[in-house]
Amino acid sequence: DGSDDNEEGSAVENEETVKGTERKRATPRTRRGHARGRDRHGDEEDEDDEDGTRRTGHRRHRNRRRGRAAGNEASDSDMEPAKARKNEANQKSKEDDEEEEDEKGGKSGKGKNEKKGDKKADKKGKKEKANKKKKDKKKSGSGSDSESEEEPITEEELAKLKEEVEEKKKLIATLRNKPWKMKKKLSVLKEAQLFVEKFEGALGKGKGKKFYAYKVMMTKKWMKFQRDFENFKTACIPWEMKIKEIESHFGSSVASYFIFLRWMYGINMILFGLTFGLVMVPEALMGKPYGSLPRKTVPRAEEATAMNFATLWDFSGLAQYSVLFYGYYNNQRTIGWLKFRMPLSYFLVGVGSIGYSFMIVTRTMAKNANDDGGGDDTSFNFSWKMFTSWDYLIGNPETADNKFASITTSFKEAIVEEQESRKEENIHLTRFLRVLANFLALCTLAGSGYLIFFVVRRSQQFALEGLENYGWWERNEVNTVMSLLGMFCPTLFDVISSLENYHPRIALRWQLGRIFALFLGNLYTFIIALMDEINLKARYLLPFTLEEEKIVKYNMTIWEASLYNGTIPENSTAPPIQVDPADVPRGPCWETMVGQEFVRLTVSDMMTTYITILIGDFLRAVFVRFFNYCWCWDLEYGFPSYSEFDISGNVLGLIFNQGMIWMGSFYAPCLPAINVFRLHTSMYLQCWAVMCCNVPQERVFKASRSNNFYMAMLLFILFLSTLPAVYTIVSIPPSFDCGPFSGKTRMYEVISETLEHDFPSWFGKVFGYASNPGLILPFILLMVLSLYYLNATSKSYKEANLELKKKLQ
Amino acid sequence: MGNKQTIFTQEQLDAYQDCTFFTRKEILRLFYRYRDLAPQLVPLDYTNKPAVTLPYELIGSMPELKDNPFRQRIAEVFSEHGDGNMTLDDFLDMFSVLSEMAPRDLKAYYAFKIYDFNNDDYICKSDLEKTVNKLTRNELTPEEVSLVCEKVIYEADVDNDGKLSLEDFQHMIVRAPDFLSTFHIRI
């Protein structure tokens, strides 16, 4: 009963506080019904207030409202006395309960208007400064109770009321999270607020609100900052929008090629930075200028054509005798006032580029493997595509177009995956066909290998007999055959792969693998040819080279002496006559030659690619588009139709091109620069060509999450490319007349020289001990063991991961 | 605080702040956006809560909504009578739910309503078909559309009644990594 009274009391209080504002709209009765439907007590409350106005004796009871008097006074002035009294009464303590009860007895038929007036003023006051204490509430509650309440409110009732107030407060705080219409939210809010105001200190509530608003503002500011930062980071990534556009129209597999291209561009920029900053610029700024040394000057014989465009395009003439190639660099140990160690820098940059490339490729592979293993949650693939793919932030028609295309492509990819997984296979037939296809592919590879071998042998024969006797075909036989093989074999592989009936992604991998093997064969023969030439020089000319060195040097001294009109003094101390370096006879410089070959190859490769795109894609598209009107059959659907983007060809082209760069950059520091330029223009040209001339494949398929397949091939090529450079560094003596290592027996001697001169002696000793095979072999053994151990632990982690995933399911 | 605006009473602004995820400034800014759609219809004084409704065509032409294939459904879900015509309250409600501060559950509830084209409290196959066609602008063949819808029901239907209830939908959408970032309009 006691708790009932309390509730009634609170209801009454509610009514009291609500009445003020809603007075205009609803009669007290209506509202009473709204609040708790306890008309009885509402009436009593009315009577109570009237008593307050009438009887000064009630002042004590109204004391509890004193706190609000100040605020109340601000409103209705004519109602003040009544209000003040009411307020005071409200603030009274529990002890006055009995007095109120006495007063209640006397209530009867009070004028409603007066009550209303009182209540309105009171409510307004309360609204402004609701500092009613709980005791007060209980007071009026117990006061409004008829005759039953004699004892003070118990602790449990207090606790229950507290709980309710907390609930209401929580409701107010989470109101915005409720899925109701605004009207409902507003009315619930009002009700809850009145309830809480009645029974809670306004001070605490007011503070809470301000703090909450502050917290919300800080959260919003933080979110905005995060968003801006993300936008900035994305804007910094070059070509992101282009690639996204291509992805929306052509699918993720085509886009993966461009992402790979962009990644390569990054690597080449770093390599360019290294070679440019640490090799080319110091030599250009601090080394001896052009024309001061024989190796730095165009020989007299070639001077006439040195500046011709044709010569420059061929990278001879002036281009050859510049910082672009190995031969220009002087073997002085330090140059300039900075005492920059040029040969050391050249050596370290060469080795460092290779080391950096290994590191970055391996790191990317590891990162991709992480992403892959991170969990491919495909349990709601289609559902998520349907309900979360549209970005509600899009406000631009072009972006919307791209998004529609992207969503369509994404659905198509997912449908292909689904269809593939549903395919029923006749195992035996499929296996047989696949074996047959592989056999055919092997035959093709063997055939192409033999053809190249045959052609190279023939060309070596021609070379021995002198190339002037043969026409254009014989001279360029090797190149042409290799290019033709490169053009037709991939198409053949494509036809063969239709036998195999693989998932498109797997079919692409097989295609890539086969073309890789083909190109590798080509590259292998090319290297053989080059190595043959070098070896030729090394093997045959090494004894001759030493002889040749002596001969050339002797010739030089004779020639010098001939400038003096005298005999040949062995130990001449006469001042050397100034001879123009252009006239000095030169020794052979195989490194520059090799560098030139690589540069020419890169440039011609670049030209071929661009012309293929322009003719193969662009002109074809123009032809199909405009001649379709006057042609017998439908050009767009039949032959030739628009071309599709050839992912495998382009990826392999990129990888092999990079292999060339890695091989050649030791001999021609300008190669990374040329490659950066090539990749930059390639990106723009190919992006344009794809969007303009190509059509998406019939069955767009999703690229695998990681690009690890491309990375694996790249790593393999990197390894192959470093072998020739390492071989030359270790086994072949550098030319005596050109380059930073001239005069040394082996290129790596520059390291020991540096250790001798630039480091304290104990360092050299330590290094000597460290490079002892007795120490190196156990170290290698240790590395192999740790590799094995790490592999074993990673396997066990993967298994544990899978187990956990299963448990989660 | 310099309380110079005369559009709302302080109470109204406070109430709006409690009922939406917006601050006072944002609510006023939203009011001006609402008014800009039809200045002659929307009075500058909301203290007496005028009953002003803007027709769907005006709402659907807002730059934030005009490219959205689901704009009609969004307006219908948030409007008072389900016809797409919105009062200021509905307008505030809509952008509050779609703001980035709104929690996942609230967004999931309204997303469910938006994708339920026939308002039967279930997302059935025809609703899914309509969604896919709106998303792809009818580029997929009917077989593909059918395949997609079947897959969605297969994936998300937990109680196996052939259609998605609110629970099924919520169960599926709360795990989606992109849901919060895509179901978001900034105004």
Is residue B174 within 8 angstroms of chain A, CB to CB? no
- Whether residue B28 lies inside any domain: the answer is yes
Length of chain A: 809
Which residues 222-281 of A have a C-beta within 8 angstroms of B? 223
* Same domain, yes or no: B124 and B66: no
Q: Which residues contact A241 (CB under 8 A, 6 or more apart)?
A: none
- The single-letter code of the amino acid at A803 is E
Least confident of A159-163, A482-486, A607-611, B97-101: A482-486
pLDDT band at residue A120 using 50, 70 and 90 as cut-offs: very low
The pLDDT score that the predictor gives to residue B3 is 58
The pLDDT score that the predictor gives to residue A278 is 92
Q: CB-side exposure of A124: number of CA atoms within 13 Å?
A: 19
- Average pLDDT over chain A, rounded to whole? 75
Residue of B10, B13, B18, B163 best to disrupt the A interface, most CBs of A under 10 A: B18
Sign of the Cα torsion A379, A381, A386, A391 reads positive
- Whether residue B123 lies inside any domain: the answer is yes
pLDDT for residue A709 is more than 50: yes
Distance from CA of A421 to the nearest CA of B (A): 13
Q: How high is the ipTM of this complex? A: 0.93
The pLDDT score that the predictor gives to residue A658 is 93
Q: What value does the mean pLDDT take over residues A742-764?
A: 83
CA B105/CA A578 separation, integer angstroms: 89
- Please indicate whether, in this complex, the C-beta atoms of A217 and B23 are within 8 angstroms of each other: yes
* Same domain, yes or no: B74 and B29: yes
| Residue ending a domain, choose from B61, B96, B131 | B96
Is residue A339 within 8 angstroms of chain B, CB to CB? no
A110: left (phi over 0), alpha (psi -120 to 50) or beta: beta
Contact list, A228 vs chain B (CB under 8 Å): none
User: How far from the centroid of its chain's Cα atoms is residue A469's Cα?
Assistant: 57
CA B126/CA B131 separation, integer angstroms: 9
Is residue A487 within 8 angstroms of chain B, CB to CB? no
Which residues 162-221 of A have a C-beta within 8 angstroms of B? 172, 175-179, 181-183, 185-186, 189-190, 213, 216-217, 219-220
Quick: pLDDT tens for A68-81: 444 344 344 444 44
Contact list, A377 vs chain B (CB under 8 Å): 175
Q: H or E element: which one contains A694?
A: strand A694-695
* CB-CB neighbours of B182 under 10 Å: 17
The pLDDT score that the predictor gives to residue A679 is 95
Under 8 Å between Cβ of A356 and A348? no
* Same domain, yes or no: B19 and B64: yes
Residue whose pair of structure tokens reads 């797409």 in the numeric block: B84
CA A804/CA A797 separation, integer angstroms: 11
Exposed e or buried b per residue across A762-778, where buried means at least 16 C-beta atoms within 10 angstroms of its C-beta: eeeeeeeeeeeeeeeee
Under 8 Å between Cβ of A452 and A521? yes
Least confident of A235-249, A537-551, B9-23, B91-105: A537-551
Under 8 Å between Cβ of A57 and A75? no
The pLDDT score that the predictor gives to residue A548 is 62
* Same domain, yes or no: B35 and B114: no
CA A498/CA A510 separation, integer angstroms: 11
Query: What residue of A is the nearest CA neighbor of B143?
Result: A415
Q: H or E element: which one contains B129?
A: helix B125-136
* Same domain, yes or no: B17 and B78: yes
Q: Which residues contact A216 (CB under 8 A, 6 or more apart)?
A: B21, B23, B101
The pLDDT score that the predictor gives to residue A553 is 67
Beta strand segments in A555-627, E: none
Range among A67-71, A94-98, A126-130, A804-808 rated most confident: A804-808
Q: Which residues contact A215 (CB under 8 A, 6 or more apart)?
A: none
pLDDT for residue A123 is more than 60: no
Cis (ω within 30 of 0) for the bond into B69?
Answer: no
CA B140/CA B142 separation, integer angstroms: 6
Exposed e or buried b per residue across A638-661, where buried means at least 16 C-beta atoms within 10 angstroms of its C-beta: eeeeebebbbbbbbbbbbbbbbbb
pLDDT band at residue A256 using 50, 70 and 90 as cut-offs: confident
Of A181, A391, A418, the CB nearest to B151: A418
DSSP per-residue letters across B66-98: TT-TTHHHHHHHHSSSSSS-EEHHHHHHHHHHT
Q: What value does the mean pLDDT take over residues B26-38?
A: 92
Per the structure block, which two tokens stand in for A208? 């809470």
* Same domain, yes or no: B92 and B128: no
More confident call, A206 vs B31: B31
Q: CB-side exposure of A606: number of CA atoms within 13 Å?
A: 21
Contact list, B135 vs chain A (CB under 8 Å): 386, 389-390, 404, 407-408, 411
CA A230/CA A225 separation, integer angstroms: 9
pLDDT above 70 covers what percent of chain B?
A: 98
Residue of A182, A212, A217, A385 best to disrupt the B interface, most CBs of B under 10 A: A182
Quick: pLDDT tens for A300-344: 888 888 888 888 888 888 888 888 898 888 888 888 888 888 889
Per the structure block, which two tokens stand in for B126? 């025809």
pLDDT band at residue A376 using 50, 70 and 90 as cut-offs: low
- Sort strands B53-54 and B86-87 into parallel, antiparallel or unpaired: antiparallel
Under 8 Å between Cβ of A44 and A104? yes
- Whether residue B185 lies inside any domain: the answer is no
Pick the closest to residue A370 from A804, A719, A5, A708 (CA basis): A708
pLDDT above 70 covers what percent of chain A?
A: 71
- Whether residue B156 lies inside any domain: the answer is yes
Number of residue pairs across A and B with CB atoms under 8 Å? Answer: 143
- Please indicate whether, in this complex, the C-beta atoms of B176 and A223 are within 8 angstroms of each other: no
Range among A150-159, A208-217, A231-240 rated most confident: A231-240
* Same domain, yes or no: B26 and B72: yes
User: How far from the centroid of its chain's Cα atoms is residue A343's Cα?
Assistant: 38
More confident call, B33 vs B4: B33
Pick the closest to residue B115 from B60, B150, B166, B157 (CA basis): B166
Query: What residue of A is the nearest CA neighbor of B21?
Result: A176
- The single-letter code of the amino acid at A668 is A
Is residue B46 within 8 angstroms of chain A, CB to CB? no
Is residue B68 within 8 angstroms of chain A, CB to CB? yes
CA A378/CA A677 separation, integer angstroms: 41
Q: Which residues contact A71 (CB under 8 A, 6 or more apart)?
A: A125, A128, A129
Backbone angles phi, psi at A427, to 5 degrees: -55, -45
Q: What value does the mean pLDDT take over residues A258-278?
A: 93
pLDDT band at residue A787 using 50, 70 and 90 as cut-offs: very high
Under 8 Å between Cβ of A295 and A330? yes
Is residue A807 within 8 angstroms of chain B, CB to CB? no
* Same domain, yes or no: B16 and B60: yes
**Axis crossing angle, helix A80-90 with helix A134-144, rounded to the nearest 10:** 100
* Same domain, yes or no: B15 and B54: yes
| Residue ending a domain, choose from B50, B81, B96 | B96
The pLDDT score that the predictor gives to residue B92 is 93
Query: What residue of B is the nearest CA neighbor of A398?
Result: B67
The total of structural domains in chain B comes to 2
Query: What residue of B is the nearest CA neighbor of A414?
Result: B148
- Whether residue B69 lies inside any domain: the answer is yes
Q: What is the CATH number of the domain that holds B124?
A: 1.10.238.10
CA A642/CA A267 separation, integer angstroms: 33
The pLDDT score that the predictor gives to residue A669 is 92
Exposed e or buried b per residue across B158-179, where buried means at least 16 C-beta atoms within 10 angstroms of its C-beta: eeeeebbbeebbbebbeebeeb
- Whether residue B119 lies inside any domain: the answer is yes
The pLDDT score that the predictor gives to residue A545 is 55
CA A287/CA A296 separation, integer angstroms: 11
CA A129/CA A3 separation, integer angstroms: 27
Is residue A623 within 8 angstroms of chain B, CB to CB? no
- Please indicate whether, in this complex, the C-beta atoms of B144 and A183 are within 8 angstroms of each other: no
Of A392, A393, A404, the CB nearest to B136: A404
The pLDDT score that the predictor gives to residue A373 is 54
Per the structure block, which two tokens stand in for A107? 């209530």
Is residue A384 within 8 angstroms of chain B, CB to CB? yes
CA A256/CA A243 separation, integer angstroms: 9
Quick: pLDDT tens for B132-180: 999 999 999 999 999 999 999 998 888 888 889 999 999 899 888 889 8
The pLDDT score that the predictor gives to residue A540 is 58
Q: Which domain holds residue B55?
A: 8-96
The pLDDT score that the predictor gives to residue A563 is 63
Looking at residue A642, the DSSP 8-state letter turns out to be P
The pLDDT score that the predictor gives to residue A780 is 93
The pLDDT score that the predictor gives to residue A206 is 52
Is residue A789 within 8 angstroms of chain B, CB to CB? no
The pLDDT score that the predictor gives to residue A6 is 41
Residue whose pair of structure tokens reads 């036809």 in the numeric block: A495
CA A509/CA A70 separation, integer angstroms: 84
Q: Which residues contact A565 (CB under 8 A, 6 or more apart)?
A: none
Per the structure block, which two tokens stand in for A377? 């949650």
| Residue ending a domain, choose from B52, B77, B96 | B96
Which residues 350-379 of A have a C-beta within 8 angstroms of B? 377, 379
Under 8 Å between Cβ of A598 and A667? yes
Angle at B114 between CA B108 and CA B117, to 5 degrees: 135
- Whether residue B187 lies inside any domain: the answer is no
* Same domain, yes or no: B12 and B87: yes
Q: Is A772 helix (H, G, I), strand (E, B) or coil?
A: coil
- Whether residue B1 lies inside any domain: the answer is no
More confident call, B49 vs A25: B49
pLDDT for residue B94 is more than 90: yes
Range among A401-410, A683-692, A724-733, A798-807 rated most confident: A683-692
Per the structure block, which two tokens stand in for B172? 């599926």
- Please indicate whether, in this complex, the C-beta atoms of A182 and B102 are within 8 angstroms of each other: no
Query: What residue of B is the nearest CA neighbor of A410?
Result: B136
The pLDDT score that the predictor gives to residue A348 is 92
Contact list, A422 vs chain B (CB under 8 Å): none
Is residue B98 within 8 angstroms of chain A, CB to CB? yes
Angle at A136 between CA A135 and CA A142, to 5 degrees: 85
pLDDT band at residue A732 using 50, 70 and 90 as cut-offs: confident
* Same domain, yes or no: B133 and B117: yes
pTM assigned to the model: 0.68
- Please indicate whether, in this complex, the C-beta atoms of B102 and A177 are within 8 angstroms of each other: yes
User: How far from the centroid of its chain's Cα atoms is residue A385's Cα?
Assistant: 22
Which residues 395-424 of A have a C-beta within 8 angstroms of B? 395-397, 399-400, 404, 407-408, 411-412, 414-415, 418
More confident call, A548 vs A11: A548
The pLDDT score that the predictor gives to residue A560 is 64
Pick the closest to residue A241 from A704, A703, A684 (CA basis): A684
pLDDT for residue A705 is more than 80: no
* Same domain, yes or no: B22 and B84: yes
More confident call, B74 vs A110: B74
Contact list, B18 vs chain A (CB under 8 Å): 172, 175-176, 189
Residue whose pair of structure tokens reads 């590879």 in the numeric block: A445
Distance from CA of A181 to the nearest CA of B (A): 7
CA A64/CA A86 separation, integer angstroms: 8
The pLDDT score that the predictor gives to residue B95 is 94
Contact list, B96 vs chain A (CB under 8 Å): 176
Please, where are the H alpha helices in A111-201?
A: 112-128, 134-144, 155-174, 182-199
Under 8 Å between Cβ of A142 and A9? yes
More confident call, A799 vs A134: A799
Pick the closest to residue A90 from A121, A31, A39, A131 (CA basis): A131
Sign of the Cα torsion A613, A619, A622, A624 reads negative
Quick: pLDDT tens for A611-624: 888 988 898 888 88
Beta strand segments in chain B, E: 53-54, 86-87
Of A216, A380, A395, the CB nearest to B172: A380
Residue of B77, B100, B131, B135 best to disrupt the A interface, most CBs of A under 10 A: B135
